């Protein structure tokens, strides 16, 4: 490693500042190759001196030791600093900021990928170029799958069905199951299968929230005189509108009356109109 030695002042006066000593070491290539101490680099580029020193110690920033009397300091040229700044950061903190995750989320992702990186006390965890590329590729894969997959809860929201109904569609294979993009235990289905089911079974009514319009499912089933499997079929095919109210599955009164009218169950219509609501 080249070393620029700066002798002490022969007059016995105070030694020149490090900046002046290093500035006296000029090459024929001009200003871009002038060696600057880390303190000057820190001021010019707004970088913490500790970060610069660690970069030099790890060989990321190719600096040299410049002697000043009996002391030595790290120094580097402006061209070398510009080269180092142009490199993509491999610190976990910087990679986390790049992909929009927290430090701990990024570290967990590294663990999931089998990337066990360690660092000395007080030093940032650095990723190799290969490890960094794998982390970025995995984040891109998860983002792509996040668009194509939805959880069962989200599918229930989109279809305006109770979660138990969506779980039944999931078990039957009507909604295409898909592996979790993050390896979690959450259940996912494809967005395509949700959209297809929505198109095949258009909803009669959306967003039933008024308590006076909600009837217990068992009451509606008894009035319509249908079996449990038939009632489940009516709910799943959205011939009647079902939702959850106070942790119970309920049926929209207007949708039940509409079904009774459509299927010519005239005797059931006044019973449905007079039936007690689920809120009672």
Domain boundaries, the chain: 4-86, 92-145, 206-280
Task: Supply φ then ψ for residue 75, to 5 degrees.
Answer: -145, 155
Q: pLDDT digit string (tens) for 199-234?
A: 988 876 555 557 778 898 899 999 999 998 888 888
Question: How many whole angstroms from its chain centre is CA 108?
Answer: 12
Is the pLDDT at 265 greater than 80? The verdict is: yes
pLDDT confidence band for 119 (50 / 70 / 90)? low
For 169-183, 219-233, 237-251, which range has the lowest pLDDT when averaged over its residues?
Answer: 237-251
Mean pLDDT of all residues belonging to the chain: 78
Q: Which helix (H) or strand (E) holds 250?
A: strand 248-252
CB count in 10 Å sphere of residue 263 = 12
The CA radius of gyration of the chain, in Å to the nearest whole number, is 35
How many contiguous H segments (helices) and E segments (strands) does the chain have? 14, 10
Task: Supply φ then ψ for residue 231, to 5 degrees.
Answer: -65, -40
Q: Give the model's pLDDT for residue 123.
A: 60
Q: Give the model's pLDDT for residue 122.
A: 55
pTM, 2 dp = 0.51
Q: Give the model's pLDDT for residue 82.
A: 83
CA distance 162 to 156: 6
Q: Give the model's pLDDT for residue 16.
A: 41
Pair of tokens at residue 130: 């290969």
Q: Which helix (H) or strand (E) holds 256?
A: helix 253-262
Q: Give the model's pLDDT for residue 14.
A: 39
Q: Give the model's pLDDT for residue 12.
A: 38
B/e letters for 176-197, b = 16+ CB within 10 Å, e = fewer, are bebeebeeeeebbbbbebbeeb
CA distance 242 to 140: 38
């Amino acid at each position: 490693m080249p070393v620029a030695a700066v002798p002490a002042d022969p007059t016995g006066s105070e030694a020149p500042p490090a900046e002046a000593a290093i500035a006296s070491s000029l090459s024929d290539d001009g200003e871009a190759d002038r060696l600057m101490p880390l303190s000057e680099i820190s001021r010019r580029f707004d970088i913490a001196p500790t970060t610069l020193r660690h970069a030099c110690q790890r060989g990321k920033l190719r600096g040299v030791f410049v002697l000043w009397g009996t002391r030595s300091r790290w120094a580097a040229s402006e061209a070398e600093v510009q080269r180092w700044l142009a490199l993509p950061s491999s610190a976990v903190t910087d990679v986390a900021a790049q992909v929009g995750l927290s430090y701990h989320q990024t570290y967990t992702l590294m663990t999931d990928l089998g990337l066990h990186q360690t660092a000395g006390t007080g030093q940032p965890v650095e990723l190799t170029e290969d490890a960094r590329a794998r982390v970025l590729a995995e984040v891109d894969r998860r983002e792509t799958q996040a668009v194509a997959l939805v959880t069962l809860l989200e599918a229930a929201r989109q279809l305006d069905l109770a979660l138990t109904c969506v779980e039944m569609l999931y078990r039957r294979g009507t909604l295409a199951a898909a592996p979790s993009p993050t390896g979690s235990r959450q259940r996912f289905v494809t967005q395509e299968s949700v959209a297809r089911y929505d198109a095949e079974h258009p909803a009669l009514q959306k967003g039933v929230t008024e308590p006076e319009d909600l009837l217990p499912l068992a009451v509606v089933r008894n009035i319509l005189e249908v079996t449990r499997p038939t009632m489940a079929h009516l709910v799943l095919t959205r011939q009647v509108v079902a939702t959850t109210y106070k942790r119970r599955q309920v049926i929209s009164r207007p949708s039940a009356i509409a079904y009774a009218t459509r299927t010519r169950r005239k005797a059931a219509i006044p019973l449905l109109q007079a039936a007690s609501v689920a809120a009672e």
